[in-house]
Chains A and B, each alone.
Chain A
Amino acid sequence: MGDSNKKVLYNVGGAIVGAVLATVAIFGLIAQQGSITQPQKFSSTINYNQ
């Protein structure tokens, strides 16, 4: 593989990695926002793992 091809491959790889990371970050933010609920409920018994 020639040097210019390696360079193109690296740049394309970098762009793909960037796109994947950006997509996953958006995915994660949506998942996180979707899970935001009311504060912990004031239950009759307070559990350590609620």
Chain B
Amino acid sequence: MRATFGRRGVGAVVGLVCGLIALGPSLAPGFILRYDLVFVPHLALSDRTLGVDGSVPRAVPNDFVVALLSHLAPGWVVEKVLLLAVFVLAGAGVGALLRSRLGAAAGALVACWNPYVAERLSIGHWGYLLGYACVPFLVRAATAVRRGDPGSRGWLGVWLLAGAATGSTGAVLGMIAALAVLVVPATGARRRIGDLLWAVVVFVLANATWWFSYLFLAPSTGTSRIGVAAFRSAADTPWGVAGSLLSGGGIWNQGVWFSERGSIVVSGLALVVVVLAVGLALHDRVWRAGPDLSGLAVAGLVGLLLAAASALPVGRDVMTTLITDLPGGGLLRDAQKFVGLWMLLVAVLAGRLVERVRSVGAAAGVDRSTAAAVAALVACWPVVTLTGFAWGLGGSLHAVDYPASYTRMAARIDALPAGAVAVFPWSLYRQYSFDDKVVVLDPWQRLLDREVVVNDDLPLVGGAVVPGESPQAARITAAVRSGHNVPATLRREGVRYVLVQTDQPESSGLPDLGATRRIASDGSLRLYDLGSARPQASHHGPWRYTGWLLAGLAILVVCAQLVVEGLTHRD
């Protein structure tokens, strides 16, 4: 146990150092606003953060977690703590899966400093990353269950709950890993259907917050084929999609690629080390080491396969059918996110590779310090092949404050009589001069404690547009495009207030508000009152909270299991 803590502690320290270096100047007071990374001073607990407002529950329940934490600390503090937690948890988790402190440090470095973490951080998918960081803990917890350790089922439940709190993607990543560990053949480790059922039941209940909303409350429009093509894995290195994914990259968004990975030499070295680590693992038959490594190996391969499938000719049609026709298939759309499982496997295997470098030195008669120094040198390969991750993604991450006019306007709107707010220009992403004109998701859905209607279409470079899911937004889009009766359409859709951001490109559509009364003007913001709007039907009544009841049941069940196991163990 003490040795485990030592390895876990070393991994956590390495993770923390990686986090401090990677986030760099953005750790200063203020918000990091970039792509989908949007935090606000105080996120309200609302139907939107609970995912029961009828929209697609993309940030559920992680926005709820942020809303809760916002009661304890300012939003920017919550943001930085969550981002640093990704690094510390990932480092600690992987460190505990290795055999020595040197291996733990090397593995933690790979887990925290790789293209997957860097690219997902750059696009702002912090929930995915927190889920990724929980995976090694789930692997350890499921391994303890396989060994029959006292109290292990309860702790597996705790980590399944933690994974669920990070959102749908993080939960699914964790579940793939936990299931793999629970079912892989391993000598000397029990395999019981009861353990499997326990994991599945806790997973299903704990994640009801998003799957219930998705299946029963959100619009039932299918996933667009345009989106499937746009979000499939892409080559961010000269080594093709497969080579890019093997080394942890391959995200679809060119805007978050790292330039050094475009070099055949730099990305080639990363690929060589990955191949060496995998080759050594095959030579050592690591799957015989126990269910943790064999399970992680299965999970890693599944993740790699899922990430590659939609980009390769063989799997493209299958994945397209799954994504567009299967309920919940949208989870597979941005499939590169599953390569996180592969990178965690690579982290553990690379840690073992570094351990081997040291043991080879010892066997050759080299003194201990020299062998350790050479091994430590080899362990530096993640940093060498991804230098652009340092210092706030090479200076791309900034800490900024919202202009005072934003907080004043938010307070003013929240004090107004009931009515939804539509935000214009009619597009989902913004570029603010106070944020160095970085593309960022419109923050007003989070700044306001009331229904905010936005255009949920996703415009892409080249002119393609991935259609959104909201029928309400689609009807407003049609009105904005035609230019006829926009105020009347907005009122029909339950919109009473129109917030116009005058510092944004107008090509995406500004409404002709005619003689509509302007009730506030502050900085670049203009607020209009359209008058009483048609009340919208409530979103399905109290039963919309069913998913949260089920999640609460999951917490109760896990707590009960911990108590029962604790009492049994004491006896």
Residues of A in contact, count (CB < 8 Å):
35
Please determine whether A45 and B265 come into contact, CB atoms closer than 8 angstroms. Answer: no
Known interface pairs A49-B252, A50-B255. Does A3 touch B437 (Cβ–Cβ under 8 Å)? no
Please determine whether A40 and B263 come into contact, CB atoms closer than 8 angstroms. Answer: no
The stretch of B106-114, B132-140, B315-323, B371-379 that contacts the partner chain: B371-379
Chain A residues near B374 (CB, 8 Å)?
Answer: 10, 13-14, 17-18
Known interface pairs A6-B365, A32-B387, A40-B439. Does A45 touch B508 (Cβ–Cβ under 8 Å)? yes
Find residues 403-450 in chain B having any chain A CB closer than 8 Å to their own CB.
427-431, 436-439
Please determine whether A28 and B266 come into contact, CB atoms closer than 8 angstroms. Answer: yes
Tell me the smallest distance from the CB of B370 to a CB of chain A, in Å: 7
Tell me the smallest distance from the CB of B339 to a CB of chain A, in Å: 18
Please determine whether B377 and A7 come into contact, CB atoms closer than 8 angstroms. Answer: no
Cα-based distance from A24 to B383 in the complex (angstroms): 10
Cα-based distance from A7 to B260 in the complex (angstroms): 35
Please determine whether B505 and A32 come into contact, CB atoms closer than 8 angstroms. Answer: no
**Does B213 belong to the interface (CB within 8 Å)?**
no
Cα-based distance from A36 to B387 in the complex (angstroms): 13
Tell me the smallest distance from the CB of A33 to a CB of chain B, in Å: 9
Find residues 1-50 in chain A having any chain B CB closer than 8 Å to their own CB.
3-4, 6-7, 9-11, 13-14, 17-18, 20-21, 24-25, 27-29, 31-32, 34-36, 39-50
Q: Which of A25, A49, A50 has the most B CB atoms < 10 Å from its CB?
A: A49
Please determine whether B460 and A21 come into contact, CB atoms closer than 8 angstroms. Answer: no
Cα-based distance from A20 to B35 in the complex (angstroms): 35
Please determine whether B439 and A47 come into contact, CB atoms closer than 8 angstroms. Answer: yes
Please determine whether A39 and B507 come into contact, CB atoms closer than 8 angstroms. Answer: no
Please determine whether B460 and A44 come into contact, CB atoms closer than 8 angstroms. Answer: no
Please determine whether B439 and A48 come into contact, CB atoms closer than 8 angstroms. Answer: yes
Interface on chain A toward B: helix, strand, loop, or mixed SS?
Answer: helix
* Interfacial residues, chain A to chain B (CB-CB below 8 A): 3-4, 6-7, 9-11, 13-14, 17-18, 20-21, 24-25, 27-29, 31-32, 34-36, 39-50
Please determine whether A46 and B259 come into contact, CB atoms closer than 8 angstroms. Answer: no
**Does B29 belong to the interface (CB within 8 Å)?**
no
Tell me the smallest distance from the CB of A30 to a CB of chain B, in Å: 9
Tell me the smallest distance from the CB of A19 to a CB of chain B, in Å: 10
**Does B385 belong to the interface (CB within 8 Å)?**
yes
Per-position binary interface string of chain B over residues 225-242, scored 1 when its CB falls under 8 Å from any chain A CB and 0 otherwise: 000001000000000000
Of B258, B363, B507, which contacts A45 at CB under 8 A? B507
Tell me the smallest distance from the CB of B136 to a CB of chain A, in Å: 26
**Does B282 belong to the interface (CB within 8 Å)?**
no
In chain B, what residue has the closest Cβ to A48?
B458
Of B253, B378, B459, which contacts A17 at CB under 8 A? B378
Known interface pairs A17-B377, A25-B384. Does A48 touch B429 (Cβ–Cβ under 8 Å)? yes
Of A24, A39, A47, A49, which contacts B438 at CB under 8 A? A39
Other A-B contacts than A25-B383, A32-B259, 6 sampled, CB-CB below 8 A, are A3-B364, A11-B370, A14-B373, A28-B263, A48-B458, A48-B460
